[in-house]
Amino acid sequence: MPGRIAGIDLARCLAIFGMFAVHIGPTDAEGLVGWLYGLPHGRASLLFVLVAGIGVSLLAGSSRGSTIQARTQLVWRAVLLLPLGLALQDLDHGAAVILQDYGALFVVAAVVLSLPDRWLLGVVGLVLPIGSVVFLQGRLAAPEVFDRGVVAISDPAPEIVHGIILSGPYPLITWLAPFLFGLWLGRQDLRSAGVRSVLVLWGLAIAVTSWVASWVLEMLLEVDGELIGWAYLVVDGPHRQMPLWVIGSTAAATALLGAALVLADAFPRATRPLVQTGQLALTVYVGHLLVLHSAPEAATADEIIRAIGILGVFAIVALAFSSLWRRRFRRGPLELLLHLPWRRS
């Protein structure tokens, strides 16, 4: 697509493949191979959200009309993704669907779209600690409610709202920070070599620092990852919703984004199938959930080597489908729905 930054689509594809891995096989297997396989856990979905924030900025910048049109497009996407995600969660695939949370994030984006950069970063700085504190208070006071459990379209409306905003696997109160940071990133010159270097170097530095800080603090406070009180704030386990995990995983996602921007421009032909898959991210994501629902035993594995083999098959099919589809069509079938009201004949 003209004007698209290929590295963003590449990063989106890597996020999708990372979520494939998490949904297909074990994320806590022993050994180096098991550790490498489990790396996307708690990171791939956050990269997905970070890139979503960037996409919102690019959407706002490319709107031919006013900011009102961009806001209208975001609300339209929320209207589609909220029920789609909740409906998909009712299927028997074993995954925590993220699309309904995307929809909620797009609603927030429509509200804050015009905020200046420093105000946007200020909101990120406020949401990050407050969201984690609110979530932890909920876990301590009502662990049976704040259980990171999924919500589906068959659940009562109050439970759906509570799960999306406060207590689900991707609660708005904590995931808003990386999303808004992505919104800020999208306003930067991502084509600049200097900006890309900063993303990679500072992203890696902050990610490592956050991990080391959590490791040291857990030892000093004698926290073993269990929910024992306010000392739990220092843990960085995947999806624990605590500050050091959000900071470290957002930083790692930022570094991976910077690397993807560089690689996509340096090796355009080699990365093209990955870029095309990133352009069909919504279709591919929904497709893999349908496969997991239809054939759970064939599409998942508890043994790491078999999981890697299944992951390879998923990736190859996604790459082949996306490449063939993009030869004929500009957008994926589900991506078209997101643009339908504004599609020119």
113 vs 46, 106, 129, 297, CA distance in Å?
20, 10, 22, 43
User: pLDDT value at position 60?
Assistant: 86
Q: 198: which 2 tokens?
A: 């900063």
- What integer is the mean pLDDT of 46-57? 96
Confidence of residue 345 (pLDDT cuts 50, 70, 90): very low
- What integer is the mean pLDDT of 215-232? 85
144 and 109 Cβ atoms separated by less than 8 Å:
no
User: pLDDT value at position 328?
Assistant: 93
pLDDT in tens, 58-96: 988 765 557 888 899 999 999 999 999 999 999 999 999
- What integer is the mean pLDDT of 314-320? 97
The mean pLDDT of the chain is: 92
pLDDT in tens, 153-206: 999 999 999 999 999 999 999 999 999 999 999 999 999 999 999 999 999 999
User: pLDDT value at position 63?
Assistant: 57
**Position 235 pLDDT exceeds 80:** yes
- CA dist 338 and 334 (Å) reads 7
pTM for this predicted structure: 0.94
- What integer is the mean pLDDT of 139-162? 92
HEC string of 128-151 equals: HHHHHHHHHHHHHHCCCCCCCCCC
User: pLDDT value at position 343?
Assistant: 55
206 and 251 Cβ atoms separated by less than 8 Å:
yes
- List, in order, residues 6 or more apart from 97 with CB less than 8 Å away: 85, 86, 88, 89, 150, 289
Confidence of residue 1 (pLDDT cuts 50, 70, 90): very low
Confidence of residue 131 (pLDDT cuts 50, 70, 90): very high
**Residue 184 is which amino acid?**
W
**Position 42 pLDDT exceeds 80:** yes
